[in-house]
């Protein structure tokens, strides 16, 4: 019986700008360091799914609020990728594409708490990162494949829409390291998230694709066992359990292909999602039908599948621009810790700290707790100290300033330091407290935006109100 415990407990976190294949790397994590690594994957204002250090998909924050620790489950079903091989002699092998489960996850009141704990999994993982790029190298002594995952969501300076696609790339690179031909299958399993459309897309010429969308359960995880047994034996998935009493809210996409000895293949899976609305500042209104607002990305993508297809169709261009940006940051001769701080903290724009609504404006909390945003309203004396937005997406920075020098400013030049929703232009958004540091930071940012964009018409339009704010 294969042990689920880690094969090595050494904690390793290596810093240094090196290359893993074609993607740049700043940090490398191994051993128990992997237990504390998560990379949020998603666009500006789209919500995120986090890639854990061992390759698990965790923290599914797609419903318009932080949700640390949440993984959609139905009994034993949970999201995952898995691989299966069969050689010429008929020897079959399958693994969930996740590394060892952290030791602390074995300490639940009813045993192990981690998702997918019942499946055989890979022996070890190395996680190499330079946000938003992650390269995970999986190792398994028995599996006759070398398996590497490249995961990312596009981050393109100057293009907020390209940086705001509600989809993530999971590109599996597999190489046959045996001496004979192998039949190989990869499967992606999703479990429904309430109020969120999800879809997996593959390139049209990827290979033989099977899907399972109608899965039923007679009880006690029979459907999960049937899936794994079929995947191991046949290397595909199918609908199952017609007429049985309980529907399983899971969906699977599987691709099968063959590899000759030494041959490699890259299979890009795009996972897309879409939620029409979210709550605004009052998270207590979640699910009540009040205080609901429309997500900007939902106006651009009619479905999760459309978002996933959009990512795949533009992948060469978006990947090239993302990699070029990361390389430009790593090319600076600043200490590694400075480059890490500058690069990795950009993830904040794509977490639930920020959201973008149908009006095109970007809104942000002061920060996030595990289950809710903390302190609403684009707080000027918090967001005033953030300057990456002006450098990377000045159009979004200008939109924030349009609010601050627009409906948030009264006739005296008093700027309320939190913006309310819904937006109104009747004076009702003014009043309350003015924060001197935040108000003056908005003045500085307006100057920065003008210097960055050279938009004379924009600064001329705002200037009367900027002057009022300075005089106040």
Using one digit for the tens of pLDDT, what is the confidence trace for 391-418? 999 999 999 999 999 999 999 999 999 9
Least confident of 134-148, 210-224, 457-471: 210-224
Residue 338 has, within 13 A of its CA and on its CB side, a CA count of 6
CA distance 284 to 291: 9
Q: Using alpha carbons, select from 127, 123, 126 the residue that is nearest to residue 145.
A: 123
Q: What separation in angstroms does the CA of 346 have from each of 44, 235, 271, 295, 342? A: 10, 39, 21, 21, 7
276-327: per-residue pLDDT in tens?
Answer: 999 888 765 444 445 789 999 999 999 999 999 999 999 999 999 999 999 9
pLDDT of residue 43: 97
Question: Would you state the torsion angle of the CA atoms of residues 105, 35, 123, 189, taken in this order, to the nearest 10 degrees?
Answer: 70
**What angle, rounded to 10 degrees, do the helices at 456-471 and 394-404 form?**
40
Cα–Cα distance between 433 and 167 in angstroms, integer? 39
pLDDT digits (tens, 9 = 90+) for 64-115: 999 999 999 998 999 999 999 999 999 999 999 999 998 888 888 888 888 9
Q: For residue 290, what pLDDT is reported?
A: 59
Q: Closest Cα partner for 57 from 200, 263, 262, 207?
A: 200
pLDDT for position 283: 62
- Lowest-pLDDT range of 161-165, 257-261, 381-385, 458-462: 381-385
Mean pLDDT of all residues belonging to the chain? 91
pLDDT at 1 over 60: no
Q: Is the pLDDT of residue 444 over 90?
A: yes
Q: Are 368 and 66 in contact (CB under 8 A)?
A: yes
Residue 50: predicted pLDDT: 98
Interval 4-54: pLDDT, tens: 322 223 344 444 433 334 899 999 999 999 999 999 999 999 999 999 999
pLDDT of residue 448: 95
Q: How confident is the model at residue 204, as a pLDDT?
A: 87
Give the integer Cα–Cα distance in Å for 241 and 259.
32
Contacts of 347 (CB under 8 A, 6+ apart): 39, 40, 131, 132
Q: What angle do CA 323, 397, 334 make, to 5 degrees?
A: 45
Share of the chain above pLDDT 70, in %: 94
19-23, 111-115, 233-237, 426-430 — which is least confidently predicted? 19-23
Contact 439, 469 (CB under 8 A): yes
Given a cut of 70, is residue 367 above it in pLDDT?
yes
Is the pLDDT at 369 greater than 60, yes or no?
Answer: yes
Q: pTM for the complete prediction?
A: 0.93
Question: Which pLDDT score is estimated for 71?
Answer: 97
Contact 307, 168 (CB under 8 A): no
Distances in whole angstroms, Cα of residue 247 to Cα of each of 244, 250, 257: 8, 9, 30
**Can you give the pLDDT at residue 245?**
87
Q: Would the pLDDT of 129 be above 90? A: yes
């Amino acid at each position: 019986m294969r042990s689920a415990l880690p094969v090595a407990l050494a904690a390793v976190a290596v810093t240094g700008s090196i290359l893993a294949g074609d993607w740049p790397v700043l940090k490398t994590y191994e051993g128990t360091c992997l237990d504390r690594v998560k990379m949020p994957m998603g666009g500006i204002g789209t919500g995120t799914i986090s890639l854990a250090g061992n390759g698990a998909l965790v923290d599914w924050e797609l419903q318009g609020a932080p949700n640390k620790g949440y993984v959609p489950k139905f009994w034993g079903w949970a999201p995952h990728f898995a691989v299966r091989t069969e050689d010429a002699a008929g020897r079959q092998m399958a693994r969930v594409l996740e590394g060892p489960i952290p030791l602390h996850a074995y300490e639940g009141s009813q045993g192990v708490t981690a998702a997918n704990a019942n499946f055989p999994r890979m022996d070890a993982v190395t996680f190499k990162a330079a946000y938003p790029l992650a390269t995970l190298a999986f190792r398994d002594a028995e599996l006759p494949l070398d398996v590497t995952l490249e995961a990312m969501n596009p981050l393109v300076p100057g293009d907020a829409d390209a940086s705001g696609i509600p989809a993530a790339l999971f590109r599996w690179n597999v190489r046959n390291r045996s001496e004979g031909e192998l039949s190989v299958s990869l499967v992606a399993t999703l479990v429904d998230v309430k109020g969120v459309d999800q879809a997996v897309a593959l390139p049209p010429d990827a290979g033989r694709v099977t899907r399972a969308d109608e899965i039923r359960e007679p009880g006690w995880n029979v459907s999960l066992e049937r899936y794994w047994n079929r995947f191991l034996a046949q290397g595909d998935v199918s609908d199952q359990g017609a007429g049985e009493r309980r529907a399983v809210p899971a969906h699977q996409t599987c691709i099968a292909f063959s590899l000759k000895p030494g041959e490699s293949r890259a299979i890009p899976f795009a996972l897309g999602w879409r939620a029409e609305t979210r709550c605004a500042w009052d998270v207590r209104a979640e699910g009540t039908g009040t205080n609901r607002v429309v997500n900007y990305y939902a106006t651009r993508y009619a479905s999760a599948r459309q978002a996933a297809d959009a990512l795949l169709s533009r992948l060469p261009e978006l990947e090239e621009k993302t990699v070029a940006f990361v390389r430009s940051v790593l090319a600076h001769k600043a200490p590694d810790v400075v480059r890490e701080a500058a690069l990795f903290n950009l993830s904040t724009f794509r977490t639930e700290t920020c959201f973008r609504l149908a009006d095109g404006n970007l809104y942000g909390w002061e920060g996030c707790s595990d289950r809710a945003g903390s302190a609403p309203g684009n707080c000027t004396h918090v967001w005033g100290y953030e300057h990456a937005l002006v450098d990377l997406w000045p159009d979004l920075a200008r939109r924030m300033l349009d609010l601050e020098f627009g409906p948030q400013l009264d006739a005296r030049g008093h700027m309320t330091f939190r913006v309310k929703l819904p937006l109104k232009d009747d004076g009702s958004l003014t009043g309350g407290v003015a924060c001197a540091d935040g108000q003056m930071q908005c003045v500085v940012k307006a100057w920065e935006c003008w210097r960055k964009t050279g938009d004379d018409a924009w600064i001329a339009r705002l200037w009367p109100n900027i002057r009022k704010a300075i005089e106040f």
